[in-house]
Structure 1
Amino acid sequence: MGSGEKPSAAVPRHIGIIMDGNGRWATRRRLRRTRGHTKGIEAAKRIVLEAIEQNIGYLSLYAFSTENWRRTEEEVSFILALVAKNLRSQYSFYRDNNVCVRHSGNLEGLPSQVRDEIHRVTEETRNNTAITVNLAVNYGGRDEIARAANRALQHKLGSCGEPLDEAALLLTEEDIQHHLDLPDLPDPDLIIRTGGHRRISNFLIWESAYAELYFSNRFWPEWTGKDLRKAIHDFGLRKRNFGGTG
């Protein structure tokens, strides 16, 4: 920072994490890629607990993207089954740590077992208040924007009893924002990507327009609370102008 510049708030309100590197972590250890995904679940629990310690209000975890369907059928089936299994088996973790679970992504494209577990966990944890964990499953930023635009148009068409003129059908930023998957969540202040790649890969591309980006070379299964604290510290040293001059 230049002289006289003040850092941003020390703790971001909302952090999004692209949990990358599970498969590569396993491959480098001559393990099956599926083992990396299992270890990734353990890392996610560590990071949720640390986020609570750091007073993070919202944590979005990129668990399965719309592009992940391109992987082998075996790996896709394993990941989705792992998601369903852990949603079901972690109720004591959510209860004991007061975790509210939400979901963003296209539910209709998921197997019924996964949809059912998502519905169940979001309903049973909705009154928990320590942290809101948004699981992005079958999620893609472009897909979310397209679905939001369609919902906004349907709302405009359905709320009027007579044909609308062309101007009335134009969508505003507010129309899109209101029809996103979780419009009540604040935009992320910080987007973290693990695993060494330096791109956001279609994650929260509408919501993260002004998010700070943090890239880590460490694979996701290796992440601990120390890594999250380091990212939060880095965020606190940055000066955020949101398009202004500061």
Structure 2
Amino acid sequence: MLEKLTKWKSSLSSQEGPKIEDVNVPRHIAIIMDGNGRWAKRKGLPRIAGHREGMKVINKVVRKADELGVEILTLYAFSTENWKRPKTEVDYLMKLPERFLNKELPMLMEKNVKVRLMGSIENLPEHTKRAVSKAVKDTEKNTGLILNFALNYGSRFELMEAVKKIANQIENGSLSAEEINESVLKENLMTAELRDPDLLIRTSGEIRLSNFMLWQVAYSEFWFTDVLWPDFDEQHLVEAIAVYQKRARRYGGV
């Protein structure tokens, strides 16, 4: 990680923009990628054009996050509420994971990136499930950055599923009600093997969580920007990390 940061800082020595420190890089960054539709509308384009452009940004963000030594990058790709959108838009959104992964899998393998999914995958179209399952399988032995896609994900659904799992454990006698604590709940979430996000980024100027990782971001640092996702680039990521590094995380202490 330090070697990557040293090379990156050297390459930026003559450039303008925020600088980040070698230490205290957020290990887990979660991003709510918002503003694709508004980006397209401002340009007089159909909404799907914004989603197509937004997909291209993922490549740049993954590369930069990997370069900076980020360990986990969680991207909110499709929520459980997004099914309410027009069918043509939903159908297009369901094709994007396949298009992205087919195109970017060589880069992900080269960068030693491990693809991971969280959400209700069973409800996705077959072509989407095949694409994401292949990416997960092909990268399962990679040991670098974890690229965690939240696909057909909603935090309330996740919490309800966790409660059901715990209830089943109590029913079959493997767990008692007295044994339920934060660790037990965490172990039954979709992020059981991941650390909680250190930094949450949301683009497009909206200041809300939109049912995203409600449990996991309890002590995350938040960074909101008016930049629409298709316009988000490496320097915006660096800016968010630079702000993060200036904050003191006290976790309720002093």
**Both structures adopt the same fold (TM-score exceeding 0.5):** yes
Give, in angstroms, the shift of residue 149 of structure 1.
Answer: 1.3
Q: Which residue of 1 aligns with 2:217?
A: 208
Give, in angstroms, the shift of residue 183 of structure 1.
Answer: 0.6
Q: Which residue of 2 aligns with 1:242?
A: 251
Q: Which residue of 1 aligns with 2:206?
A: 197
Q: What is the rounded CA distance, in whole Å, between the counterparts of 2:38 and 2:234 in structure 1? A: 21
Q: Does 1:68 align with 2:68?
A: no
Number of equivalenced pairs: 233
Q: Which has the higher contact order (CA 8 A, sep 6+)?
A: 1
Q: Which residue of 2 aligns with 1:83?
A: 97
Q: What is the rounded CA distance, in whole Å, between the counterparts of 1:170 and 1:202 in structure 2? A: 27
The equivalent position to 1:129 in structure 2, one of 126, 135, 143, is 143
Q: Which residue of 1 aligns with 2:115?
A: 101
The equivalent position to 1:176 in structure 2, one of 175, 185, 203, is 185
Letter aligned with residue 119 of structure 1: S
Q: Which residue of 2 aligns with 1:28?
A: 42
Letter aligned with residue 230 of structure 2: P
Q: Give SS of 2:193's match.
A: coil
Identical-pair percentage: 38
Q: Give SS of 2:81's match.
A: helix
- CA deviation string 1:33-73 (max 9, x = no partner): 10111111111110000001110000000000011111101
Q: Give SS of 1:90's match.
A: helix
Contact 1:153/1:169 (8 A) holds in 2:
no
Letter aligned with residue 167 of structure 2: L
Q: Which residue of 2 aligns with 1:4?
A: none
RMSD of equivalent CA atoms:
1.7
Contact 1:10/1:232 (8 A) holds in 2:
no
Contact 1:58/1:131 (8 A) holds in 2:
yes
Segments of 5+ residues of structure 2 without an aligned counterpart are 1-20
- The TM-score, its normalising length taken from structure 2, stands at 0.87
- CA deviation string 1:206-230 (max 9, x = no partner): 1110000000100001111100000
Give, in angstroms, the shift of residue 168 of structure 1.
Answer: 3.3
Give, in angstroms, the shift of residue 159 of structure 1.
Answer: 4.7
Give, in angstroms, the shift of residue 120 of structure 1.
Answer: 1.5
Q: What is the rounded CA distance, in whole Å, between the counterparts of 2:144 and 2:163 in structure 1? A: 32
Greater shift, 31-40 or 78-87, is seen at: 78-87
Q: What is the rounded CA distance, in whole Å, between the counterparts of 2:162 and 2:227 in structure 1? A: 34
Contact 2:97/2:132 (8 A) holds in 1:
no
Q: Which runs of 4+ in 1 moved over 3 A?
A: 167-171
Q: What is the rounded CA distance, in whole Å, between the counterparts of 2:191 and 2:223 in structure 1? A: 23
Contact 1:156/1:169 (8 A) holds in 2:
no
Q: What is the rounded CA distance, in whole Å, between the counterparts of 2:55 and 2:123 in structure 1? A: 22
Give, in angstroms, the shift of residue 108 of structure 1.
Answer: 2.0
Evaluate the alpha carbon distance shift between residue 183 and residue 229 of structure 1 in structure 2; reply closer, same or farther with a 3 A threshold.
same
Letter aligned with residue 38 of structure 2: R
Letter aligned with residue 99 of structure 2: K
Q: Which residue of 2 aligns with 1:3?
A: none
